[in-house]
C-alpha cells in the first residue's frame, strides 16, 4: 500500500524499476516524501533497498520511472536525463554511504571543504568557515585537523555526514550508515542523524536499526523481493506490524522468537 503525505513534496519517485543482468531487482516502487519528512527503508538483505536509494540520486540509473524534486522533473527513464542534469541533481540530493569514502591524505576539515570548493565554487575562506560550523554541529570541531586514520569509524561517518551537509542538499539519502561501524560507536552517528531529522532535514535512510527508525523516522517503507510491501507510520509498522512478513522481520531484528 502507498500513502501520499500532506504538505509540500520534496521528492517523488514513481514506478522505479531496475534490472541487472536481465534480472529485475526493483519491480516498480513509488514513494512521495514531503519536505522535512524522514522515511526509514527496511527489509531483508537482497530486497533492493540499497539499489532503490541509489536510484534516487542516479548512482544507479532506473530502467523505468520518474523522479521529481520539489515538483521539478529531474529524471525520466524515457527521455534519458543528460549527464549535466545528473550532476545538478546530486548537488541537491546528498548521499551518505556504508563506507566513509574520505580522502586519507586530507584532514577532516579538508574533506568537508573540498567538495564545496569544487562543486559549489565557494572561496577557501567561506568553505573553511562552513566546514568548521558543520564539524561543530556533528561534535567533531576539536578533531577537525585529524586525518581519517586518526578517527574512529563513528567519527569518520560523522565527517562524511558533515561533508554531505556542506553542499546544502534539499534531501539526504543514507545507505546503512552504521553497518561498517563498531556497535559501541553507532550511537554517536545515530544521534547526529536523529538531530538532523528533528531539525527538519528531508531524509531517507536504509537501516536495520529498528529502535532508531521507531524514534527518528516519520514513516517506514518495507521492501521485500524488490517490491514495496507496506508504507506507513514508523512507530506503528515497527511496533505492531499487521503484515506477518514484516512482523517476522522486526521480531528477528529485535531478538524476539
Phi-psi region of 203 (alpha: psi -120 to 50; beta: other; left: phi over 0): beta
Residue 5 carries which DSSP code?
-
Edge-to-edge strand order for the sheet containing 23-34? 23-34, 9-20, 64-69, 72-76
pLDDT tens column, 107-144: 999 999 998 998 889 999 999 999 999 999 999 999 99
Q: Which of 30, 33, 2 is nearest to 16 (CA)?
A: 30
Domains and CATH numbers, the chain: 9-254 (3.40.50.300)
Over residues 14-29, the mean pLDDT reads 96
pLDDT tens column, 25-43: 999 999 999 999 999 999 9
pLDDT band with cut points at 50, 70 and 90 for residue 180: confident
133 or 183: which leads in pLDDT: 133
H or E segment and range at residue 129: helix 124-137
Amino acid at each position: 500500500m502507498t500513502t501520499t503525505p500532506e504538505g509540500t513534496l520534496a521528492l517523488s519517485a514513481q514506478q522505479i524499476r531496475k534490472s541487472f543482468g536481465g534480472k529485475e531487482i526493483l519491480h516498480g516502487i513509488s514513494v512521495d516524501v514531503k519536505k522535512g519528512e524522514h522515511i526509514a527503508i527496511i527489509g531483508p538483505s537482497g530486497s533492493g533497498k540499497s539499489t532503490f536509494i541509489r536510484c534516487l540520486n542516479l548512482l544507479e540509473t532506473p530502467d523505468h520511472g520518474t523522479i521529481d524534486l520539489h515538483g521539478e522533473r529531474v529524471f525520466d527513464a524515457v527521455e534519458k536525463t543528460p549527464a549535466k542534469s545528473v550532476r545538478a541533481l546530486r548537488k541537491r540530493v546528498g548521499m551518505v554511504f556504508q563506507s566513509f569514502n574520505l580522502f586519507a591524505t586530507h584532514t577532516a576539515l579538508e574533506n568537508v571543504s573540498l567538495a564545496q570548493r569544487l562543486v559549489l565554487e565557494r572561496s577557501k575562506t567561506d568553505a573553511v568557515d562552513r566546514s568548521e560550523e558543520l564539524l561543530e554541529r556533528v561534535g567533531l570541531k576539536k578533531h577537525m585537523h585529524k586525518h581519517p586514520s586518526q578517527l574512529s569509524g563513528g567519527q569518520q561517518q560523522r565527517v562524511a555526514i558533515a561533508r554531505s551537509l556542506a553542499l546544502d542538499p534539499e534531501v539526504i539519502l543514507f545507505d546503512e550508515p552504521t553497518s561498517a561501524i563498531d556497535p559501541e560507536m553507532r550511537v554517536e552517528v545515530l544521534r547526529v542523524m536523529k538531530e538532523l531529522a528533528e531539525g527538519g532535514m528531508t531524509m531517507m535512510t536504509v537501516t536495520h536499526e529498528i529502535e532508531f527508525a521507531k524514534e527518528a523516522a516519520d514513516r517506514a517503507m518495507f521492501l521485500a523481493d524488490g517490491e514495496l510491501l507496506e508504507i506507513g507510520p514508523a512507530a506503528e509498522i515497527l511496533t505492531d506490524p499487521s503484515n506477518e512478513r514484516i512482523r517476522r522481520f522486526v521480531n528477528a531484528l529485535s531478538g524476539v522468537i
